[in-house]
Structure 1
Amino acid sequence: MNCRVVVEAAVPVFDVETPDEAIRIAISKTGEMLNPDLNYVEINMGERTSPSGEELPPAFIAADEALVALELEMTVFNVEREEHASRIARKEIGQLLENIPLEVKRVDELEDEDDDEESDETEDDGDEAAQTDDETEREPENESSESESRSDDDDEEILPEFEDLVEES
Structure 2
Amino acid sequence: MSPHDASPPAPQRPGLTASGARKASAKSARSRSREFALQALYQHLVGRNDATAIDHFTRDLSGFHKADAAHYHTLLHGCIEQAEAQDALIAPLLDRKLAEVSPIEHAVMWIGVYELRHCPDVPWRVVLNECIELAKEFGGTDGHKYVNGVLNGLAPQLRSAEVEADRAKARAAVR
**TM-score (norm: length of structure 1):** 0.28
Larger of the two Rg values belongs to structure: 1
- Counting helix residues as a fraction of each chain, which structure ranks higher? 2
- Counting strand residues as a fraction of each chain, which structure ranks higher? 1
